[in-house]
Chain A
Amino acid sequence: MIPENFIQSNLQGISFIGPELILTLAILLILLVGVLLPYWRHRILFTILAVAGLAGSVLPLWKLPQPAPDLTYLSNLFVWDWLTFLSKPFFAVVGVLTILLTQVTGEIDNSEYSECTILVLAVTMGMMLLVASTDLLMIYLAFETMGILSYLLVGIRARDERSGEAALKYVLYGAFTSGTMLFGFSLLFGLAGSTDLLAISQKVAFASQHPQDRLLLIVAILFFLAGLLFKTASFPFHFWCPDVYEGAPTPITAFLSVGPKAAGFVLFIRLFYPLFATGHDATIYEAVSGLDWPSILALVSAITMTLGNLAAIHQNNLKRLLAYSSIAHAGYLLMGIVSLSDLGLRSVVFYLVVYLFMNVGAFAVVAMVASAGGSEEIDSYRGLGARAPYVCVAMAIFLFSLIGLPPFAGFVGKVYLFAAVIYKKIYWLAVVAALNTVISLYYYLRIVKAMFLEKPTETIQIQVPLSSRVLLLALLVPTLGLGIYWQPLARVVSGMF
């Protein structure tokens, strides 16, 4: 016999997953259109449907009640807090940018285009579910929704060998690490007897007092890390990243480098902050006693950024270079997680937003140059500044922002991250990060140098269509704007924690 208020509350809870439902509707619609018009040659219809679906998905958010940390719904599967509230539009933006980038570049054939949009929408839905989940089972389901569909996305160009190889690597690597993570979940479930994060967190504090239980907890944490570090492309689970990023179609690479990565970081916050860290005053947390995960993550962070930056120095393929750069950025972002303070968590979210625009921007330029007749090798960027000044100036701005130079948004984001670790007095990490920024200068500026200072080796004419220019502008405005006037974003972010 199901109590009446149970049904009632679940019916109410459905309104909270409005975005996901709308996305599902949009997916079904595109599927239908794709079946009805199998020889449709124009992408624009699918693009409009997908963008409309993504835009529509965020509309219900403003109808919902004020987010609160303890507002859970659907039998405590999901939570409606500020992090959820802000993450959903973030992923919608990621989705929209990816769809538009696929639209303006020709990397994905018309025959695969409708599937591509469907998959992007579905991964976005997975990410939206993931950030709201507070139940291990739901987390895993959402994690795999996001994961498995993104494997498909990587392999969307069925006839391209590179794309297929990348997809296979991604699948195997992903299966391996998510299996490990699931094992960690099961350990935790065995220990706590519940899959609800809140319930587990109460048991964890208690269990960490006992040596055997503590051992179990440590193993569980390490197994979690396998899944989380895989998604965020951090050491030692980053090996898939350069190969997959290089093999995937560029718009999809851009998508992977910000979407699942951001979802991974949000999951980091979700898992570690109620479970293994306790807030002892309003702003500072402490790791659960006996579980010294912050120091191990600090080490991972330092190695990740150093490794990413050093390896990037050698790359001549821009997608590979940006893949290593994205590994390095995962290292920077981990600094915020390590710092165990609201300041750190805020800076992670702040940096993710900034990173979204500048990184998608850089990949967008790569995609545009490649589809306008160039290639992804640095050689085809030599002397490009004179032939395609607009695109190259945009690229330079994105790269400067990735380095973290003022007055671009990346600088502000880095300042917040650095401030977080310095505030926590982890000076060695700040020094490592600062040195890494200097190393990164070298390979980012290599591109700028090639574009503006070197003589062209080939004389292909680069024609960038108007739609691409508009998209670049849409990415430039926040990259520049948030570097000059970032208070609105900072205020929003500081309301979260």
Chain B
Amino acid sequence: MTNLIDPLHMKNMLWLIPCLPLAGAVINGLLGKRLPVRLVHFVGCASVFLAFLISVAGFFTLLGIEEPHQRFLIQPLYQWILTVWHQGSFSLQVAFRLDPLSITLCLVVTGVGFLIHLYSVGYMAGDESQARYFAYLNLFTFSMLLLVLADNLLLMFVGWEGVGLCSYLLIGFWFTDLEKAQAGMKAFIVNRVGDFGFFVGLMLLFWTLFEGSNGTITGLGFQQLRESIPLLNSASPILGVGLATWIGLLFFVGATGKSAQIPLYIWLPDAMAGPTPVSAFIHAATMVTAGVYMIVRLNFLYVIAPAAMAVVAVVGGVTAFYAATIALTQNDIKRVLAYSTISQLGYMFLAVGVAAFSTGIFHLVTHAFFKALLFLGAGSVIHAVHSNDMLEMGGLKKYMPHTYLTFMAAYLAISGIPPFSGFVSKDEILWATFNSHLPVAGLGKALWALGLLTAGLTAFYMTRLVALTFMGGFRGGLEKEKHLHESPSVMTFPLMALAVLSVVGGVIGLPAVTHLPNLLHDFLGPVLSSHGASGHQAHAYWLELLLMLISIGVATTGIYLGWLFYVKRPELPGKVAARFAKMYQVLEQKYYVDEIYQALFVRPLLKLVALSGRFDLNTIDGAVNLSSRVTAKFSFLIGWEDLKIVDGAVNGLAEIFKRWGAALRHLQTGKIQHYLYSVVLGIFGLCVFMFLF
């Protein structure tokens, strides 16, 4: 293949991919209020579209490089951190790395991102703060691209934090609604827990390399990390667990936060408070997959930590199943999709956990297509019905034919019907799990069975969703029925584009059964450790075909049952729910996890907040009221007394700070005589100190 673009030119253009959306964010953020709305739309969409075009160019440039192992371009922008000490130095650059892995994600982020920006033009029409919306959305795109393109872990962490911030801003976009603002807060706080794990992992990694190399460490670039793997292997274990495992697990804690896995998944369903395109973009297609990307990016680290990999696989598999069971009973259309996202993300972690890294990325890509489409379709429905409750929908097939048709494509894809894209990628995961070599015997087969069961559940709840939304008759009342309408074409065009991708997206990773090349797997090969490919080498043709047929069977069963329950005999679900009332309630209440977290973490924390609030009030009132200087003089003693009496050490500490502060105020008398005395006392005090110690 000849090179259309000189790799050298491409290399110098890399910075444009993230910086174009950044420029969009700056323009819309600073000037947006004064610009005409159309210009705001144009800036928002065009900046992402241009980034997409450059990504496409980058993709072909990479393909044009003959030798697969040379397929990477690194653009160092500037020296970021440089610390020199006598044995060595630590240097980090702000540098972008374009390789098969990052370009795949770039294409998804900018491509799907552009479609969602476009859709937002229609969805957000009439909202008064559209400039803010597009500024946030562009800022998110920038952060995500920074995360994806970063050439070292610390820069990746900057992007990692950036997407979290933007997610918070966008979930709470309609912040005047307290519930929505709280949902944003919840997402942010839960993510902090995960990010803390990530950060501790980062520090542990740095420290291990620093100690292991006798202080001659030079940086945290991915290439350097890959080369310093022997150091990690030779480092002495902590508590009997190898360092690679510790680091891998800590990074995975970060991933469970960002990618909504057990036990930190609880923010994602609430995050649906944000505008629906945001849910599609951030909470389905891109940000939540950052954890998967991170693990694949650090695959060289994970392959030497099989225990960490097993944890990833188990957490992924269990989350997939667990979230799918909750999705069975939810009535809010976006919540069903949110739990479905958690479940599908579980699949991806299952894939990377069994070392099928390229398969994980494959499912990430196809999921981005069909899940974004599902969310956008749901948004289109919500746009028409003005409600999220599926019980107030029904029969929309008639009113919204385009939405319905495109939604069906995504529905078939996620349910795992061949040849739709979701089937191909999900089946590859199941096959890789079946073939995996996890440290515990039989674990692979058990996870496969769990994954298969989840596939059935997925087909069932998606059928339920489609039946409740599009089939039967409209249940929202006559008044609403009059106003039902298809969404404008600026919204349906992205739906169609995504529908095409959902249908044919599977061709980039065809299974071995077809005897056609698995394009994505071959493309990503150079980035992945050789170990990662093992799942595919030991393939047995007939076994794979058999498993494939089983999974198709399970999917069709799920769909049949769904059809039976919600179309053919609508009285059945009520009966089943009554028969298994306890279980149904547990599912409907999402296993009461929110309540448990509330009791364990939130309420104690709120207590603390109330205490601080009291402290705040006291400081301000107290400053006015403390008229007697005697109080101040004894404040220290009183502070100690309070410490014993008042409920909780924190409150006591706050009290002490407060009183000290108050005491300090009284030292500041404003009289110059006192000040001059203080000079004498100061010198005297320093003398005493110097001679005594």
Contacts and interface: CB of A to CB of B under 8 A. Distances in A.
Main secondary structure of the interface of B (DSSP, over half): helix
B96 to A, nearest CB: 15
Interface in A384-416: 407
Interface stretch (A12-20, A86-94, A308-316, A463-471): A308-316
A236 B680 CA distance: 10
Interface string A477-490: 00000000101001
B675 A173 contact: yes
Contacts of B83: 419
B78 A237 contact: no
B682 A313 contact: no
A176 B690 contact: no
B199 interface: no
A236 B685 CA distance: 9
A222 B686 contact: yes
B689 interface: yes
B687 interface: yes
A296 B689 contact: yes
Given A242-B668, A311-B664, A311-B665, A222 B679 contact: no
B683 A180 contact: yes
Nearest to B679: A176
A307 B686 CA distance: 17
Contacts of B660: 310
Contacts of A316: 623
A418 to B, nearest CB: 13
B78 A485 contact: yes
B693 A295 contact: yes
Interface string B82-111: 111010000000100000000000000000
Interface residues of chain A: helix, strand, loop or mixed (majority): helix
A371 to B, nearest CB: 24
A314 B676 CA distance: 24
A311 B681 contact: no
Contacts of A226: 679, 682-683
B54 to A, nearest CB: 22
User: Which residue, B84, B665, B691, has most C-beta atoms of chain A within 10 A?
Assistant: B665
A239 interface: yes
A457 to B, nearest CB: 14
Contact of B82 (A235, A311, A487): A487
Contacts of A208: none
B80 interface: yes
Nearest to A281: B86
Contacts of B345: none
B689 A299 contact: yes
B687 A219 contact: yes
Contacts of B82: 487, 490-491
A239 B690 contact: no
Contacts of B84: 494
A223 B687 CA distance: 10
A429 B682 CA distance: 21
B530 interface: no
A283 B623 contact: no
A115 interface: no
B670 A243 contact: yes
Interface residue tally on B, bucketed by range:
35 or more
B619 interface: yes
Contacts of A313: 619, 657-658, 661
Interface in B609-652: 619, 623
Interface in A156-200: 168-169, 172-173, 176-177, 180
Nearest to A307: B664
B662 interface: yes
A84 to B, nearest CB: 24
Given A172-B672, A239-B678, A310-B657, A222 B665 contact: no
Contact of A311 (B79, B668, B672): B668
A225 interface: yes
A218 interface: yes
Nearest to B83: A419
A314 B82 CA distance: 39
Contacts of A237: 678-679, 682
B691 to A, nearest CB: 8
Contact of A236 (B658, B665, B682): B682
A292 interface: yes
A180 B686 CA distance: 13
Contacts of B79: 487
A439 interface: yes
A225 B686 contact: yes
Given A176-B676, A487-B82, A314 B662 contact: yes
A240 interface: yes
B668 A239 contact: yes
B391 to A, nearest CB: 38
A218 B664 CA distance: 29
Interface in A267-304: 283, 292, 295-296, 299-300
Contacts of B662: 314
Interface string B511-551: 00000000000000000000000000000000000000000
A172 B676 contact: yes
Contacts of A177: 679
Contacts of B86: 283
Given A313-B619, A314-B619, A239 B686 contact: no
Given A169-B675, A311-B665, A236 B687 contact: no
Contacts of A439: 657
Contact of B681 (A236, A296, A307): A236
A173 B660 CA distance: 25
Interface core residue of B79, B665, B690 (most chain A CB under 10 Å): B690
A292 B689 CA distance: 11
Contacts of A172: 672, 675-676
Contacts of A243: 668, 670
B80 A222 contact: no
A164 B668 CA distance: 18
Contacts of A229: 682
B221 to A, nearest CB: 16
Nearest to B680: A176
Nearest to B658: A313
A490 B92 CA distance: 14
Contacts of A310: 657, 660-661, 664
A394 B324 CA distance: 47
A310 B636 CA distance: 14
A439 B654 CA distance: 10
B195 to A, nearest CB: 13
A225 B675 CA distance: 16
A452 to B, nearest CB: 11
Nearest to A223: B683
Contact of B672 (A168, A222, A235): A168
Nearest to B687: A222
A72 B598 CA distance: 69
B184 to A, nearest CB: 15
A487 B80 contact: yes
A222 B690 contact: yes
12 contacts: A176-B676, A223-B683, A236-B679, A237-B679, A239-B667, A296-B686, A310-B661, A310-B664, A313-B661, A314-B623, A407-B158, A485-B80
Interface of B: 78-84, 86, 94, 158, 619, 623, 657-658, 660-662, 664-665, 667-668, 670, 672, 674-676, 678-679, 681-683, 685-687, 689-691, 693
Given A237-B678, A419-B83, 20 more contacts: A168-B672, A173-B679, A219-B687, A222-B683, A222-B687, A223-B683, A225-B686, A226-B683, A236-B678, A236-B682, A240-B675, A292-B693, A300-B686, A310-B660, A311-B661, A313-B658, A314-B623, A314-B661, A439-B657, A485-B78
Closest 8 A/B residue pairs (Cβ): A236-B682, A311-B664, A239-B675, A487-B79, A310-B661, A313-B661, A314-B623, A222-B686
Interface of A: 168-169, 172-173, 176-177, 180, 218-219, 222-223, 225-226, 229, 235-237, 239-240, 242-243, 283, 292, 295-296, 299-300, 307, 310-311, 313-314, 316, 407, 419, 439, 485, 487, 490-491, 494
